[in-house]
Amino acid sequence: MRTLALGIGSSLRGDDAVGPLAAEALAAEGLPARAVTQLLPEHALELAEVERVLFLDASREAPPGAVTLQRVGPVEPRPRVSHRLDPRSLLALCVALHGRAPEGLVLALGAAQLEPGAGLSGPVATAWEAYLARARALLAGAPADGDPAAEGTAAEGARPG
């Protein structure tokens, strides 16, 4: 299964750096991942070439340090004056342009601090290895059901910092 991971977020805003840091770590291992500050219409071109897209992101809704996985499908965006898209809107654009969209998954890590200039919080740093392990498994084609934190909590990899 051809899969692409897009790590979304800002390295300048504490735990919001989770997505880009994860994408960079996975890309350094030779996995198909890249960091983006935001999702743009141009990303629909890349999505047309894959069967699954894994959006790596921080979550304000999940408890700090919690790893969550959510399936997302295409949903038409409400009209707005922005080039920034959310995962569902990007998938909808992919359908509109290419007649199909890949399976969409959001792998999120609950954020504790999103203030400018802050580093990663303790809960996020503690969950880092489990988060990367789940991302690796999903990039390898693992099913998207089950407990996201159950796979590979002892995975190797550099902890951001």
The parent domain of residue 121 ranges over: 3-139
Could you read off the pLDDT tens digit of each residue along the chain, which spans 161 residues? 899 999 999 989 999 999 999 999 999 999 999 999 999 999 999 999 999 999 999 999 999 999 999 999 998 755 554 556 899 999 999 999 999 999 999 999 999 998 888 889 999 999 999 999 999 999 999 998 754 444 333 333 334 54
- What predicted TM-score, i.e. pTM, was given to this entire model? 0.86
Number of domains forming the structure of the chain: 1
Residue 57 lies in a domain: yes
Any idea what the CATH number is for the domain that residue 25 is in?
Answer: 3.40.50.1450
Q: Which residues contact 109 (CB under 8 A, 6 or more apart)?
A: 15, 18, 57, 58, 59, 62, 65, 66, 67, 68, 124, 127, 128, 131
Q: How remote is the C-alpha of 13 from its chain's centroid?
A: 16
Q: What is the DSSP letter of 94?
A: H
Block residue for tokens 């030779």:
30
